[in-house]
Chains A and B, each alone.
Chain A
Amino acid sequence: MSPRAIVLLLSVLCLLADPGWAARRGGTYRLALVTDPPTLDPAQATDTTSSAIIRQLFDGLLELDERMQPVPSLAARWGVSQDQRVYTFHLRPGVRFHHGRELTARDVKASFERAARGKRPWVFEKIQGAPAFIRGQAQAIRGIRVPDARTVEITLERPFAPFPMLMAYDAAFVVPVEEAERLGPAFASRPVGTGPFRFVAWRHDDQVALEAFPGHFRGAPFLERVVYRIIPEETTRFAEYLAGNLEHVDVPTGHFRALRADPALSRELHVWPTLGTYALRFTVTRPPFDNPTLRRAFNHAIDKEAIARVILEESVVVARGVLPPGMPGHDPALVGHPYDPEQARRLLAEAGHPGGRGLPPITLHYNVNPLHRRIAELVQAQLRELGVTIQLASLDWAAYIKLVDDGGTQWHRMGWIADYPDPENFLTVLFHSRNHGAAGNTSRYANPAVDRLLDEADRLPLGPGRLAKYREAERLIVADAPWVFLYHYTSRLLQKPYVRDLERSPLSGAPEMHVAPLRKVWLDR
Chain B
Amino acid sequence: MLGYVARRLLALVPVLFGVSLLVFILTAIALGDPVRAAMGQRGDPEVIAEIRREYGLDEPIWVQYGLWMGRLLRGDLGRSYHQQRPVTEIVAERFPATLRLALAAMAFAVVLGLAAGLAAAVWRGTALDALVMAGALLGISTPVFWLGLMLILVFAAGLGWFPVSGYGDGGWRHLVLPALTLGALQTGVIARMARASLLEVIGQEYIRTARAKGLAEARVLGKHALRNALLPVVTVVGIGLADLLVGAPLTETVFAWPGLGRMLVAAVGQRDLPVVMGAVLLFAVIYVVGNLLVDLAYGAIDPRLRR
A→B interface (CB under 8 Å): 35-36, 38-39, 44, 46-47, 119-122, 134-136, 185-186, 188-189, 203-207, 229-233, 235-236, 239-240, 242-243, 245, 395-403, 405, 414, 416, 429, 437-440
Contact = CB atoms under 8 A, between A and B. Distances in A.
B32 A204 contact: no
B166 A38 contact: no
Contacts of A230: 256, 258
A364 B101 CA distance: 41
Contacts of B259: 205
Nearest to B160: A243
Given A204-B90, A243-B156, A438-B39, A233 B253 contact: yes
B132 interface: no
Nearest to B51: A119
Contact of A38 (B36, B48, B83, B253): B83
B192 interface: no
Contacts of A207: 166
A35 B40 contact: no
Interface residues of B, number: 50
B46 A236 contact: no
B156 A402 contact: no
A185 B55 CA distance: 14
Contacts of A416: 41
Given A230-B256, A236-B256, A405-B36, A438 B152 contact: no
Interface in B123-170: 149, 152-153, 156-157, 160, 163-167
Nearest to A118: B47
Contacts of B255: 236
Nearest to A125: B44
Contacts of B36: 398, 401-402, 405, 438
A414 B42 CA distance: 12
B33 A236 contact: no
Contacts of B60: none
B46 A134 contact: yes
Interface stretch (B9-17, B206-214, B231-239, B263-271): B263-271
| Interface of A, helix, strand, loop or mixed by DSSP | mixed
Interface in B221-266: 253-256, 258-259, 262-263, 266
Nearest to B260: A205
Given A46-B39, A206-B256, 9 more contacts: A135-B46, A204-B83, A204-B90, A204-B93, A229-B165, A229-B256, A239-B153, A398-B31, A438-B39
Contact of A437 (B45, B163, B164, B266): B45
Contacts of B45: 437-439
Given A236-B165, A438-B45, A119 B38 contact: yes
A172 to B, nearest CB: 15
A122 B266 contact: no
Contact of A239 (B37, B39, B164, B270): B164
B34 interface: yes
Contacts of A402: 31-33, 36-37
A203 B258 contact: yes
Contact of A429 (B42, B47, B149, B269): B42
A229 B174 CA distance: 14
B94 A119 contact: no
B85 interface: yes
Contacts of A403: 31
B276 to A, nearest CB: 12
A188 to B, nearest CB: 6
Interface in B49-92: 50, 79, 82-85, 90
A233 B254 contact: yes
A395 B263 contact: no
Given A39-B83, A401-B36, A239 B156 contact: yes
Contact of A229 (B39, B93, B166, B270): B166
Given A229-B256, A231-B256, A233-B254, A47 B269 contact: no
A438 B42 contact: yes
B48 to A, nearest CB: 7
Contacts of B47: 119, 121, 134
15 contacts: A44-B84, A185-B85, A206-B166, A206-B167, A206-B258, A207-B166, A395-B32, A396-B32, A398-B34, A399-B30, A402-B31, A402-B33, A414-B41, A438-B39, A438-B42
A132 to B, nearest CB: 12
B42 A122 contact: yes
Contact of A243 (B37, B48, B164, B262): B164
Nearest to B265: A232
Contacts of A47: 40
B43 interface: yes
Query: Which of B30, B37, B94, B160 has the most chain A CB atoms closer than 10 A to its own CB?
Result: B37
A189 B85 contact: yes
A229 B256 CA distance: 9
Contacts of B266: 35-36
Contacts of A398: 31-34, 36-37, 269-271
A403 B31 CA distance: 8
Given A402-B32, A437-B45, A204 B94 contact: yes
Nearest to B45: A438
B146 to A, nearest CB: 10
A145 to B, nearest CB: 25
Contacts of B256: 205-206, 229-233, 236
Nearest to A442: B41
Contacts of A36: 266
Contacts of B165: 229, 231, 236, 239-240
Contacts of B43: 405, 438-439
A204 B165 CA distance: 15
Contact of A245 (B90, B164, B167): B164
Nearest to A231: B256
Given A243-B164, A399-B30, A204 B258 contact: yes
Given A185-B85, A243-B164, A398-B32, A235 B41 contact: no
Nearest to B93: A204
B267 to A, nearest CB: 10
A121 B44 contact: yes
Nearest to A240: B164
A120 B167 CA distance: 34
Contacts of A399: 30-32
A293 to B, nearest CB: 29
A19 to B, nearest CB: 34
The 9 A-B pairs with the shortest beta carbon distances in the complex, nearest first, are A398-B32, A46-B40, A399-B31, A399-B32, A398-B37, A205-B258, A206-B258, A438-B43, A239-B157
Contacts of B41: 401, 414, 416, 440
Contacts of A119: 38-40, 47
Contacts of B153: 239
Query: Which of A121, A188, A236 has the most chain B CB atoms closer than 10 A to its own CB?
Result: A236
A243 B167 CA distance: 16
Contacts of B82: 38
B37 A401 contact: yes
B152 A439 contact: no
B301 to A, nearest CB: 38
Contacts of A204: 83, 90, 93-94, 258, 263
A235 B46 contact: no
A36 B257 CA distance: 12
